[in-house]
Amino acid sequence: MRKIGYLSILMVVLFIGCSSSNSDKGSGSSAVTTAAATGDETSTGGTAKPEHLTKETFMEKVMNYEKNPQQWVFEGDKPAIVDFYADWCRPCRMISPIMEELAVEYQGKVNFYKVDTEAEKELAAVFGITSLPTVLFIPVTGNPSAQQGAMPKESYKQVIDQFLLSKPVAN
């Protein structure tokens, strides 16, 4: 019985997400760090990897919050997913390969982006990112939805299929 309790606690800790403190900073390397070091992180060059965004590219491709501070105005032409992460966050490193796989599966249908909250603190503050990872699901029309913490690949696929790619029913 005690083993089940410990296992349950371990699973909850793994899937809740990292706190926004950087006490784990520097603990281990990640695929994100490797991609950044090699310069192979964008999806614009024909690859299907999530594109790393800066404040400037975020305002061009996702939302210009300086021009429209009071309302959500999406700048993209297809649904998008923005993964707010940090290199030190273990759950962020867990979902990174999932996001890469989904970027391949949904290439041409959904744009995948990543925002390093350590490098882009203003973006994290503007969107109130307090838990990592936080994944923002952005439909072409309507308001985005955010999910905190890591989820299994099938859960991400379900949100993509039902929230981002489903056609609204006409009345």
For 88, what's the count of Cα atoms within 13 Å in the CB-facing half-sphere? Answer: 14
Tokens of residue 126, six digits: 């503007």
- The 10 Å Cβ neighbour count of residue 97 is 12
Rounded to the nearest 10 degrees, how much is the dihedral formed by the CA atoms of 35, 39, 44, 50? Answer: 20
What whole-number distance in Å separates Cα of residue 153 and Cα of residue 98? 6
Choose the catalytic residue: 32, 80, 81, 89: 89
Contact (Cβ atoms closer than 8 angstroms) between residue 20 and residue 133 = no
Q: Annotated catalytic, 18?
A: no
Q: Which of 18, 32, 80, 92 is catalytic?
A: 92
Beta strands at 145-148 and 131-132: parallel, antiparallel or unpaired: unpaired
Supply the residues annotated as catalytic.
89, 92
